[in-house]
Amino acid sequence: MDIATETRSIGVLIFPEAQVLDVTGPHEVFSSARHLLEKARASIGYDVFLVSKTRKPLKVSSGIEIVPDYDFQSCPSSLDTLIVPGAENIRQVLEDSELLNWIGAQSGNVRRLVSICTGAFLLADLGLLDGKRITTHWAYCEDMRRLFPQLKIDSDAIFIQEGNVYTSAGVTAGIDLSLALIEEDVGKKIAMSVARKLVVFYRRPGGQKQFSDFLMSQSDSPFGALVDWMIENLSEDLSIEMLAQRVNMSQRNFARKFKEVRGETPGKFVERLRICQARMLMENSDVVLKTVARKCGFNTEEQMRRAFQRELSVTPNEYRTRF
């Protein structure tokens, strides 16, 4: 097979205090794919680069100094995919009119427009997400709903495609999305090879809610103290009756209020907490599955297996093997 007859330009936007993994994650995924495609003498290749307002070195979130490959004026006009990272200070970034204007100008020319984490705020401010189902980092979903009430925000999705616009959840979800884009371009084999090289899931099980539950329990939100207690007592009776008694509420009122606050029923929430704890045990120990099930509050190993399949679409055995 001849060397690449089509080279697709992948531009990763960069600005001061950008989340470093939003930038380096996708860059490394596409760079790895480029090397594999060159080795295979594939007909499609990648040119991966960083672009910013100027070519002066700038510091990203971790304090690392990075030098962009291009400024806005010299960025190749053949840009195929533009990747927009997020930042913790995204509100401040929204005030950068030059940055926003450049993204807006590119949006009509690129084949794919991609946001990672809170980069979605920048696309939303430009009206590029209106009418679309989108996602962002779970911790910023409520803030985004307040700023952009017209958007359809899925707080659980790892990434979402709507036409030629792609949005992803926080930080490492940019790697998941980049792998999906590579599969879209050149097939599953190369995407899986990149995932193996980087020692990441080709397609990770579950959505981003699985990562937020334990962190959200530490907040000052209603039922936060109850959730903290639940996490410490997953092997106990966590029925609606017992939980309602603990917060001195009727079962009916507790179930209604809990769903209003947490977005799901108490029973479903408990099941996901138990799955999360089971995953941690399997990832960090060789404890047999029967013991994992007991420690996490599942009545039987079979009950745990069914819960894993509902939530993650894999069995506990498959999860342990894949991790």
Rounded to 5 degrees, what angle do the CA atoms 72, 67, 121 make?
55
Residue 191 in tokens: 């995407």
| Cross-strand partners of 115 | 84, 167
Closest by Cα among 119, 116, 10, 23 to 66: 23
* DSSP letters for 50-91: EEESSSS-EE-TTS-EE--SEETTTS-TTEEEEEE---TTHH
Cα-to-chain-centroid distance, residue 127 = 22
Task: Tell me if residue 276 is catalytic.
Answer: no
* DSSP letters for 204-228: -SS-THHHHHHHHTTSSSTTHHHHH
Point out the catalytic residue in the list 117, 141, 276, 296. 117
Amino acid in the structure at residue 118? T
Active site residues: 117
